[in-house]
Structure 1
Amino acid sequence: MMRLYPILAVVTLVVAAPANAAMTVHQFVTRANDLRAQGFAAMLSPDFAVLKEEARQAKSQLKAENARRVAARKPPIACVPDGESIGIEEMLDGLQALPAAYHKRPLKDGYARVVAQRFPCQ
Protein backbone atom coordinates (compact mmCIF):
# COMPACT_ATOMS: atom_id res chain seq x y z
CA MET A 1 0.00 0.00 0.00
CA MET A 2 2.87 2.41 0.78
CA ARG A 3 4.24 1.98 -2.75
CA LEU A 4 0.95 3.15 -4.18
CA TYR A 5 1.13 6.65 -2.64
CA PRO A 6 3.92 8.02 -4.85
CA ILE A 7 2.14 6.70 -7.94
CA LEU A 8 -1.13 8.32 -6.85
CA ALA A 9 0.68 11.59 -6.20
CA VAL A 10 2.14 11.63 -9.70
CA VAL A 11 -1.20 10.74 -11.30
CA THR A 12 -2.89 13.51 -9.30
CA LEU A 13 -0.32 16.06 -10.47
CA VAL A 14 -0.69 15.01 -14.10
CA VAL A 15 -4.48 15.23 -13.94
CA ALA A 16 -4.41 18.54 -12.02
CA ALA A 17 -2.07 20.24 -14.49
CA PRO A 18 -2.95 19.50 -18.11
CA ALA A 19 -0.06 19.59 -20.57
CA ASN A 20 -1.48 22.58 -22.44
CA ALA A 21 -1.96 24.70 -19.33
CA ALA A 22 -0.09 27.98 -19.70
CA MET A 23 2.57 28.88 -17.17
CA THR A 24 2.09 31.84 -14.92
CA VAL A 25 4.59 34.68 -14.91
CA HIS A 26 5.83 33.44 -11.52
CA GLN A 27 6.34 29.87 -12.72
CA PHE A 28 8.19 31.04 -15.82
CA VAL A 29 10.45 33.49 -13.96
CA THR A 30 11.24 30.96 -11.22
CA ARG A 31 12.22 28.26 -13.70
CA ALA A 32 14.12 30.75 -15.89
CA ASN A 33 16.11 31.99 -12.88
CA ASP A 34 17.01 28.40 -12.04
CA LEU A 35 18.33 28.02 -15.58
CA ARG A 36 20.17 31.36 -15.41
CA ALA A 37 22.06 30.06 -12.38
CA GLN A 38 23.29 27.08 -14.43
CA GLY A 39 25.04 29.24 -17.01
CA PHE A 40 25.77 27.53 -20.32
CA ALA A 41 24.76 24.15 -18.87
CA ALA A 42 21.18 25.42 -18.87
CA MET A 43 20.93 24.70 -22.59
CA LEU A 44 21.26 20.99 -21.79
CA SER A 45 18.37 21.08 -19.32
CA PRO A 46 14.97 19.79 -20.44
CA ASP A 47 13.52 22.96 -18.88
CA PHE A 48 15.31 25.04 -21.52
CA ALA A 49 13.13 23.64 -24.32
CA VAL A 50 10.00 23.91 -22.19
CA LEU A 51 10.60 27.57 -21.36
CA LYS A 52 11.60 28.38 -24.92
CA GLU A 53 8.29 26.94 -26.15
CA GLU A 54 6.31 28.80 -23.48
CA ALA A 55 7.95 32.06 -24.56
CA ARG A 56 7.28 31.29 -28.22
CA GLN A 57 3.62 30.61 -27.50
CA ALA A 58 3.26 33.81 -25.45
CA LYS A 59 4.80 35.83 -28.28
CA SER A 60 2.57 34.14 -30.85
CA GLN A 61 -0.55 34.76 -28.75
CA LEU A 62 0.37 38.42 -28.34
CA LYS A 63 0.87 38.84 -32.10
CA ALA A 64 -2.50 37.20 -32.79
CA GLU A 65 -4.27 39.32 -30.18
CA ASN A 66 -2.66 42.47 -31.56
CA ALA A 67 -3.83 41.56 -35.07
CA ARG A 68 -7.40 40.95 -33.81
CA ARG A 69 -7.41 44.31 -32.06
CA VAL A 70 -6.17 46.14 -35.14
CA ALA A 71 -8.77 44.35 -37.31
CA ALA A 72 -11.47 45.42 -34.85
CA ARG A 73 -10.15 49.01 -35.03
CA LYS A 74 -9.06 48.92 -31.40
CA PRO A 75 -5.68 50.23 -30.29
CA PRO A 76 -2.93 47.60 -30.40
CA ILE A 77 -1.37 46.34 -27.19
CA ALA A 78 2.10 47.36 -28.32
CA CYS A 79 3.72 48.91 -31.37
CA VAL A 80 6.92 46.99 -32.02
CA PRO A 81 8.85 48.59 -34.91
CA ASP A 82 9.89 46.26 -37.73
CA GLY A 83 13.17 44.57 -36.94
CA GLU A 84 12.95 45.36 -33.22
CA SER A 85 12.53 42.84 -30.43
CA ILE A 86 13.17 42.34 -26.76
CA GLY A 87 16.07 40.13 -25.73
CA ILE A 88 15.54 37.31 -23.27
CA GLU A 89 17.44 39.03 -20.47
CA GLU A 90 15.41 42.23 -20.89
CA MET A 91 12.20 40.19 -20.98
CA LEU A 92 13.09 38.28 -17.81
CA ASP A 93 14.05 41.49 -16.01
CA GLY A 94 10.79 43.07 -17.16
CA LEU A 95 8.73 40.09 -15.98
CA GLN A 96 10.43 40.15 -12.59
CA ALA A 97 9.73 43.88 -12.24
CA LEU A 98 5.98 43.45 -12.77
CA PRO A 99 3.72 44.02 -9.74
CA ALA A 100 3.20 40.94 -7.56
CA ALA A 101 -0.42 40.55 -8.69
CA TYR A 102 0.81 40.11 -12.25
CA HIS A 103 2.92 37.11 -11.26
CA LYS A 104 -0.26 35.04 -10.88
CA ARG A 105 -1.37 35.79 -14.43
CA PRO A 106 -0.55 33.76 -17.55
CA LEU A 107 2.84 34.36 -19.13
CA LYS A 108 1.22 35.90 -22.22
CA ASP A 109 -0.24 38.68 -20.06
CA GLY A 110 3.12 39.43 -18.49
CA TYR A 111 4.80 39.30 -21.88
CA ALA A 112 2.21 41.75 -23.26
CA ARG A 113 2.79 44.15 -20.38
CA VAL A 114 6.57 44.12 -20.79
CA VAL A 115 6.37 44.59 -24.57
CA ALA A 116 3.82 47.41 -24.18
CA GLN A 117 6.10 49.17 -21.70
CA ARG A 118 9.09 48.84 -24.03
CA PHE A 119 7.20 49.67 -27.25
CA PRO A 120 4.20 51.83 -26.34
CA CYS A 121 1.93 53.05 -29.09
CA GLN A 122 2.09 56.82 -29.53
Structure 2
Amino acid sequence: MLRKAHVLAALFATALSAFPAGAAMSTGQFVARANTLRAQGFAALLSPDFQVLKDEARVARQQLRAENDARVKAGKRPIACVPDGETIGIEEMLDELARLPAADQRRPLKDGYARVLSRRFPC
Protein backbone atom coordinates (compact mmCIF):
# COMPACT_ATOMS: atom_id res chain seq x y z
CA MET A 1 0.00 0.00 0.00
CA LEU A 2 1.24 3.52 -0.68
CA ARG A 3 0.90 4.46 2.96
CA LYS A 4 4.39 5.83 3.31
CA ALA A 5 4.59 9.31 1.83
CA HIS A 6 8.36 9.26 2.08
CA VAL A 7 8.58 6.19 -0.18
CA LEU A 8 7.05 7.99 -3.14
CA ALA A 9 8.75 11.27 -2.26
CA ALA A 10 12.13 9.56 -2.29
CA LEU A 11 11.46 8.07 -5.70
CA PHE A 12 11.78 11.36 -7.52
CA ALA A 13 13.49 13.68 -5.10
CA THR A 14 16.44 13.87 -7.50
CA ALA A 15 14.56 13.49 -10.80
CA LEU A 16 16.13 15.09 -13.87
CA SER A 17 14.28 16.78 -16.77
CA ALA A 18 11.90 19.60 -17.58
CA PHE A 19 8.54 20.60 -18.94
CA PRO A 20 6.73 23.92 -19.02
CA ALA A 21 5.08 24.87 -15.74
CA GLY A 22 1.41 23.96 -15.51
CA ALA A 23 1.54 21.49 -18.37
CA ALA A 24 0.61 17.86 -17.83
CA MET A 25 3.48 15.58 -18.71
CA SER A 26 3.10 12.12 -20.17
CA THR A 27 5.25 9.28 -18.97
CA GLY A 28 7.10 9.23 -22.29
CA GLN A 29 7.78 12.96 -22.19
CA PHE A 30 9.06 12.65 -18.64
CA VAL A 31 11.41 9.81 -19.56
CA ALA A 32 12.70 11.51 -22.71
CA ARG A 33 13.42 14.76 -20.92
CA ALA A 34 14.88 12.97 -17.91
CA ASN A 35 17.22 10.99 -20.13
CA THR A 36 18.37 14.16 -21.89
CA LEU A 37 19.43 15.71 -18.61
CA ARG A 38 20.54 12.38 -17.17
CA ALA A 39 23.20 12.26 -19.89
CA GLN A 40 24.59 15.55 -18.58
CA GLY A 41 25.41 14.01 -15.22
CA PHE A 42 25.69 16.38 -12.27
CA ALA A 43 25.60 19.41 -14.58
CA ALA A 44 21.88 18.70 -15.06
CA LEU A 45 21.30 19.72 -11.46
CA LEU A 46 22.24 23.26 -12.45
CA SER A 47 19.70 23.37 -15.26
CA PRO A 48 16.78 25.75 -14.69
CA ASP A 49 14.57 22.91 -15.93
CA PHE A 50 15.47 20.73 -12.95
CA GLN A 51 13.01 22.40 -10.57
CA VAL A 52 10.22 22.27 -13.13
CA LEU A 53 10.57 18.50 -13.40
CA LYS A 54 10.75 18.07 -9.64
CA ASP A 55 7.48 19.98 -9.40
CA GLU A 56 5.88 17.82 -12.08
CA ALA A 57 7.00 14.66 -10.28
CA ARG A 58 5.69 16.02 -6.96
CA VAL A 59 2.27 16.70 -8.45
CA ALA A 60 2.14 13.23 -10.02
CA ARG A 61 3.04 11.64 -6.66
CA GLN A 62 0.33 13.66 -4.91
CA GLN A 63 -2.23 12.62 -7.51
CA LEU A 64 -1.22 8.97 -7.20
CA ARG A 65 -1.38 9.12 -3.42
CA ALA A 66 -4.86 10.72 -3.55
CA GLU A 67 -6.07 8.13 -6.07
CA ASN A 68 -4.73 5.32 -3.91
CA ASP A 69 -6.36 6.73 -0.77
CA ALA A 70 -9.69 7.02 -2.60
CA ARG A 71 -9.44 3.41 -3.77
CA VAL A 72 -8.74 2.17 -0.26
CA LYS A 73 -11.60 4.23 1.23
CA ALA A 74 -13.95 2.79 -1.40
CA GLY A 75 -12.94 -0.74 -0.37
CA LYS A 76 -10.95 -1.37 -3.54
CA ARG A 77 -7.52 -2.93 -3.78
CA PRO A 78 -4.64 -0.44 -3.40
CA ILE A 79 -2.60 0.46 -6.47
CA ALA A 80 0.49 -1.15 -4.97
CA CYS A 81 1.56 -2.69 -1.68
CA VAL A 82 4.96 -1.18 -0.94
CA PRO A 83 6.53 -2.90 2.08
CA ASP A 84 7.74 -0.64 4.86
CA GLY A 85 11.26 0.52 4.20
CA GLU A 86 11.20 -0.34 0.48
CA THR A 87 12.08 2.26 -2.12
CA ILE A 88 12.87 2.43 -5.79
CA GLY A 89 15.85 4.57 -6.72
CA ILE A 90 15.50 7.26 -9.35
CA GLU A 91 17.68 5.43 -11.86
CA GLU A 92 15.68 2.23 -11.50
CA MET A 93 12.35 4.10 -11.70
CA LEU A 94 13.41 5.91 -14.87
CA ASP A 95 14.53 2.62 -16.41
CA GLU A 96 11.23 0.96 -15.50
CA LEU A 97 9.22 3.90 -16.87
CA ALA A 98 11.20 3.67 -20.12
CA ARG A 99 10.32 -0.04 -20.43
CA LEU A 100 6.58 0.56 -20.29
CA PRO A 101 4.68 -0.16 -23.53
CA ALA A 102 3.89 2.70 -25.93
CA ALA A 103 0.28 2.93 -24.72
CA ASP A 104 1.48 3.52 -21.16
CA GLN A 105 4.08 6.04 -22.38
CA ARG A 106 1.23 8.24 -23.64
CA ARG A 107 -0.55 8.21 -20.30
CA PRO A 108 0.03 10.79 -17.55
CA LEU A 109 3.15 10.44 -15.43
CA LYS A 110 1.00 9.48 -12.43
CA ASP A 111 -0.21 6.44 -14.34
CA GLY A 112 3.33 5.48 -15.29
CA TYR A 113 4.33 5.61 -11.62
CA ALA A 114 1.30 3.49 -10.74
CA ARG A 115 2.13 0.89 -13.38
CA VAL A 116 5.74 0.54 -12.22
CA LEU A 117 4.82 0.37 -8.52
CA SER A 118 2.01 -2.14 -9.09
CA ARG A 119 4.36 -4.41 -11.05
CA ARG A 120 7.15 -4.10 -8.52
CA PHE A 121 4.94 -4.33 -5.41
CA PRO A 122 1.75 -6.20 -6.32
CA CYS A 123 -0.91 -6.64 -3.66
Bin the TM-score by the shorter chain: 0.7 to 0.9
**Distance in 1 (alpha carbons) for counterparts of 2:80 and 2:114:** 8
SS at match of 2:39: helix
Task: Point out where structure 2 has 5 or more consecutive residues left out of the alignment.
Answer: 1-19
Sequence identity (%): 73
Question: Does the 8 Å contact 2:31/2:94 carry over to 1?
Answer: yes
Query: Which residue is equivalent to 1:43?
Result: 45
State the shift of 1:20 in Å. 2.4
In the TM superposition, what is the alpha-carbon distance from 1:111 to its structure 2 partner?
Answer: 0.7
Q: Is the 8 A contact 2:21 2:52 kept in 1?
A: no
- Per-residue CA deviation, residues 12-58 of structure 1 (Å, 9 max, x unaligned), is xxxxxx84231011110111001111000000011211111111211
Of 97, 100, 103, which residue of structure 1 is paired with 2:99? 97
Aligned residues: 104
In 2, Cα distance between equivalents of 1:87 and 1:60: 18
CA offset at residue 86 of structure 1? 1.5
| Aligned Cα root-mean-square deviation (Å) | 1.3
Structure 1: gaps spanning 5 or more residues:
1-17
Residues 19 and 40 of structure 1: is their aligned pair in 2 closer, same or farther, counting only changes over 3 Å?
closer
Per the normalisation by structure 1, the TM-score is 0.80
Alpha-carbon distance in 2 for matches of 1:120, 1:54: 25
* Structure with the larger helix share: 1
Letter in 2 for 1:34: T
Q: Deviation of residue 72 (structure 1)?
A: 0.3
